[in-house]
Structure 1
Amino acid sequence: MLRRKKKKKRNKKENNKKKMTRMMMTASKTRMKFERLEYEALAEKKRKLLASSHCEGSMKKARQDDTSGASMDEIMEAMNFGVRRKSRKPKKRGRRKGSKNKLSPEITRMLGDATLHYAHGHYEEAISTLHEVIRLAPNLPDPYHTLGLVHNRLGEDKKASNFYMIAAHLTPKDSSLWRLLFTKSIEQGNIGQASYCLSKAIMADPKDVTLKLHRASLHVELGDYQKAAESFDQIYQLSPENIEALKTGAKLYQKGGQLEHSIRILEDYVKGHPSEADTSVIDLLASIFMESNSYDKALQLIEHAKLVYYSGKELPLNLTIKEGICHVNLKNMEKAEVLFSILQRGSVNDHAHLIAEAADSLMSLEHYDSALKYYLMLEGGAKGDNGFLYLKIARCYLFLKERVQAIFFLYKALQMLEDNIDARLTLASLLLEEAKEEEAISLLAPPKDFDSIELPPEKSKPWWLNEKVKLKLCTIYRAKAMVEDFVDAIFPLVRESLYVETLHPKVKVKKRLSRRVLFERVKVLNDRETENVFRGFRPVAPSSDLSKAARAKRLLQKKATIREKKKAEALASGADWQSDDSDDDPPEVHREPPLPNLLKDEEHHRLIIDLCKSLASLQRYWEALEIINLTLRLAHSMLSVEKEEELRSLGAQIAYNTTDPKHGFDCVRYIVQQHPYSLAAWNCYYKVISRVDNRDSRHFKFLRGMLSKLVDCVPPIIIYAHQFTMASNHQHAATKYLEAYKRLPENALINLCVGTALINLALGFRLQNKHQCLAQGLAFLYNNLRLCENSQEALYNIARAYHHVGLVTLAASYYEKVLAIRVKDYPIPKLPCENPDIVGNQKPGYKPGYCDLRREAAYNLHLIYKKSGALDLARQVLKDHCTI
């Protein structure tokens, strides 16, 4: 049963296929029949048209009769209807031109009328007519173009450009119209529109070399050498005979950093001209090889040119000189000299640049003798301004160690190039080597009447204000010990440099631009011509300027949003709204220091120290301390340890020579920190502190810190006790002195200080056991006398103590003992790294002899005698010991 069912299904499918085949054959026959009938109908129609044309007459007469009723295109279409000849030209797809948007007779007439109005100078009638045409046919380019002509004749350039732009967009393949718009955009200064029109013109006429040349020039002005080189390369591809385009493109590729591409296009030219080539291309390629130090390739190129292009001919002179330069760099001096010998023929003026090129190459490779020979050739034959030539000759003589000739030519060069700083400094150095210091000073010093000299506006400053010249002059002054001249020359530069450095923060803070600067940057993105119909052209500017402008635009929008928000909040709260235009102030001008590397150069560090010493020797202490403090604050991490210590020691010395030593506190504090166990350092520190009128809190803070840090250091304890003594707090003073006595019981100074403190304490009102305290004080003074081995100073201290407490008899005996002793002067303790110039420069009226106390003892003894009534003895003591 299953087999029968399957067999029935299979038979049914086969019958269906047969029916479909018969139906398709029937449909095909029917279609062929209809096509044959259609063909016969078309043929009949053609025969009728031919018969009617023969009946009406000749074809010429039929055209004349039907012109009034149909257009020429319709007649030609009717004539060719049914006659389809095979054309040899390839068939074009799409609608035939002119078959759509045909002009009506009315519009054609109006266009003609407008043209006549324009031709006769009736511009108002022409404009009104053209406006009506635009209303009827807005997509027609002719009225816009004519309107552009009319407005151009009326002198309305902007309106004319707008109508030209509309016409150009309606006829985008009209390159002449785009070219016209490019020219007008350049005249109006609208670079963005000019670039746009130029691109459209090139698209309309890609083979126009002039347009591509304009685009290349535009890229060169913008600094886009890559695109400019590509444009020149395209120009050369369009016109291979344009060698200048090839060379310019190669130079721009080289300038844009694509040296390999530059070499490749030039080598392709050489390979493409195996029999004859342009000499300038060979010369340029050789120059590029030489600039990239590929002298072997340049030599191979010149040899190839000599064999192929100049076989049996003389090689051009420029290539011959380049060949010689290549041999010089390849160390073939004999071959190079043979090639350079051709320069000695003929006139120097004819090939001066080649002689200079050869001489420069010889000098760069230190062949000074040979280079000098060719420079002297130029010096003898050239005319005009030879300042740089004289400099090169002087340099050759300098390397050949002929100083006299070098000085001579440097003077000749400076007559023409007086602003050449390097030449002036070199000449000054040579004069110093020849021991002509005065001549060097006159060379570097400013002219006598420099205030009356009028400088041209292009000069920023004259040569005598140059920092290098001043530094060189200061070096000479310092070597000759001309202190005042040295200070006057270098002090303003150093102070200005340090002051500028204080204005510049060490940490770079993000710069806040003012609204004025932001608006200036945004101008790159805005159209200059606001009246133009077409706007929004891509700005023509470097990418860096475009990115800055975009950021400025976003920042201005953000500021405007914040400003509106503040304004709304102020108005909502009822407060008066005041615009904050503080950021519209002009930005601060960035000042450059006169000596940029003052704090980084070790030689300048030495200069600063010498300047401070010179200022101190001239008793200009405030200025010296100002330089020292600024230098230590700004360059503490750049100064060496020796120089920093020398500066601080110098500041400490200056501090106790000034009337107000508080400015030198940092220096003496540093000295003590570096030498905590030095008595000289602590003496200097105490001398500075004791002369400060108002007690400085920095001193007490520093002293407490040193006491806690240096437990075994006695000088800070004594100084701390001295401060209590000066404040008449003798009890605390005695406590501190006794603390120091525990550490150094055999120290004479400590015993003296303890004794005086106890005696002063005994004279107080609150102490009950005054006699015991007085006896203890005298015991410490006698201990001081023992330790000092009955010295004059110890005897005087005991006599002064007896005198102070009223024991005048004992005091007189000790004063007499003091008068019987003569003492030599002892040197004042010196600071570490102390400058002898500062120490020797004492105040007027200072005399040595501070260690002898006979005058003081005689004066006090005369007071005792006078009070006791012995006036004769008092006068005799003064006469013997206190008379000059």
Structure 2
Amino acid sequence: MDSELPQEGGPEKMDIEKELTNKFLSGQMSFAEYSSEWYEGDEEEDLDEADKRFEEEPQQSRQLSKILKKKRRYTRLSTALLGLMGEANLRFARGDVEMAERMCHEIIKQLPTAAEPYQTLAQIYENDSDKSLQFSLLAAHLGRADADEWWRLAGISKQRNDIKQAMICYTQATKAEPQNMETHLRRLEFVEYLEEIKFPLNSLNISRVKCYHKIVTSMSPHKGEIIMKYARMAASLYDTSTEVERTIEVLSAAFKKCPALFTPQDMNIYLEMLITQKQYQTCIEVFVSGVGIDIEAEIQTFKTATGEIEEQTNYINCMIPDNLAIDLKSKLLVCFIHLGAFNLVQTLLSDFLKNDVEKAGDLYMDIEEAFSAVGHHEMAIKLLEPLVRNTNFDLGAVWLKHAECLLNLGRIDDAVESYHKVLKHVPQHPDARRKLFTILESKGCINEALNILQQDPKFVVSPSLLYEQCKVLKKYNMLLKYLEVGEIFLSRHGTKLRHQEELIMASRVKGALELLHNFRTLRGESIHSEDDIQFADESFKIPVGEEWEFFLELYNIAFQNKLYPIMERLTFTAFLVKGFSTYRQHLEYYCAQSCMLNRDFKNMLKFLRDLANKYYGTRIFNLLGYVFNFSEECIQNRYITRLFQKDCNVVRLLFYGNNFFISGRYLIALKYYLEYHDHCREPISALLIAISILSLAAQKTVDKHHNLILQGISYMQTYRKLRKCDQEAYYNLGRAYQMLNINNLAIECYEKALKCGPIAQCSQHGVLDLTKEAAFNLYVIYKDHSPEIARRYILKYLVV
């Protein structure tokens, strides 16, 4: 029997493992969880571990299966427990099952991580399939189970539909006999079965490509055909999922075992991956060992400035086979460029440039990129010139490389011409536009440079370039253009709102864009509007605070230039910006303001209703009154009732009165005005009462017109006394007399208004004066009967 293995981790580790075993026995965790905890979450052996071990001891092929097994400890019974275990097996053989079971449990109590008692218990409970499987799994896990035992347990687990447990068993079988191809194929067959039933393999930490990779690292070199078959399959799948490092690992493992079986195509893929990861030295080693290239080199040692000794490889000579494929020659050239072997590069490049550009154009580009990466642009331009002269490579990407190379060489005018060629092929190319703008700006061609930044909104637009264009326009104080471009930039967050229902959705729901799309889908509409701008799918973002300040700048520019429709569109767009949710209260105010300035009273009323619930007070009442005067929906009684439901503010009487007055129901309006005037003897209520009475007097269906006129004039006089502002009071009296065609009294009131001072003066809004209005009304009264007097008023008060 093997000698006792050392106990790694000490007593604390043993206690943890005992605890895990007890939890599994008590049913507190599944075998999958138990196994995962035991191996500290690493269920799958490192894919290239077997290959490393093969390198360390290539001569011991007979012991390779033991070396390939994952190192872990197996607990061995002490002498006393070993005797007890033998007695238990003897009792079981004689039929004393109860005593044998008790002995096994005693051993488990003292040493729960030994495999032997579980093996016996599995036989004891062979009639109880659940317990038998439980003990068999423990015995196999804690002992040295062979592949056949793991296959048996995997089959039972699969029958019970315990997929995770079955996969663990299949994996353990491949670890038990890693060089047995049958074990790998059986696990691969199970993986393919799981793929067919759409089982989520990610939850098992296994995949088809991992199985392929494991076969490559496990097989011995004499099975080269099998290794190459699965290496190619694994490399193909890794390449599809862009796992470059894994591709290199599997191809490296195959190359170390059977380099002679690598085809030129295999070699090309392998070298391509190595170059992608900048492993140029490894590439040189592959060229020497796998391709048959002879390279003469010397290693020089030198001391750095810090005193450390470093080595440097100098490549002196290179002998290339005559039949070497051109793509491999180009890769060798790329490696020498990056390794600094320019004495060899000159010779190889001269030979390479003899190749036809039609056939080797892509390889020209690869070598040019290598030269540009190390800063040898004068060499790179030698490869680009033949490309741009060839019609097959008259492409935007080639011209971009050409332009950048010329720019690095200081040939500015030629670079400008090449950048224009790029935009001819790819009009919306953002990098080309940026570079061309920088060059033109440095040359002082500001207008031309600004035109270069302009993108056509009919095509896909780059948001990052739009933002840079905004900064430049602001820098040169082109504010209206800045506003135009900024509005386009801000629109990248959403779509144009089509009707009020969508506006309500956007203003009340955070992150409303997805809801808007669902809403349009339910209505059978297209998600996107025809005039929506399509933005490039790039992860360009600016901080929320910065974008909010950007929005405010645009809003203020639109306000200063009285572009009220743009103000309104900006605020509607801002509701769809997810990051602006913290500024929602400000947005509601800006929306109400822009709607008022744009005379969009329908939408303004919607925002004012929301604001009225939050900021109940005089300012909101004034704004609501203003909107009600212009709103097409004159019946607002229900809303007014709800607004003043909790607080019976007397101002509601004015709202009711105004609402009925606008709809032409003067008698009902007069009732509310009189009630308000009883509570608050204010000039506005007296004026409203007078206007209502005079409006009634003007109706033909009303009797006693003279009495109504006298009452109306009486309230006008009350208004004059309450309103301590002579110019306004006399002007309104004159308007009332003029409406009644009592022109002599109207003239007297207008003349008094002209002699009074202005109503008010304000540093922000200027002088509020009714002189011109009073003079014009006098002109209207006099123009038919006394044109000379009318002309005198025009010349004195109304000529600028």
Give me the TM-score of the superposition, normalised by structure 1. Answer: 0.43
Q: Which has the larger radius of gyration?
A: 1
Higher relative contact order (CA 8 A, sep 6+): 1
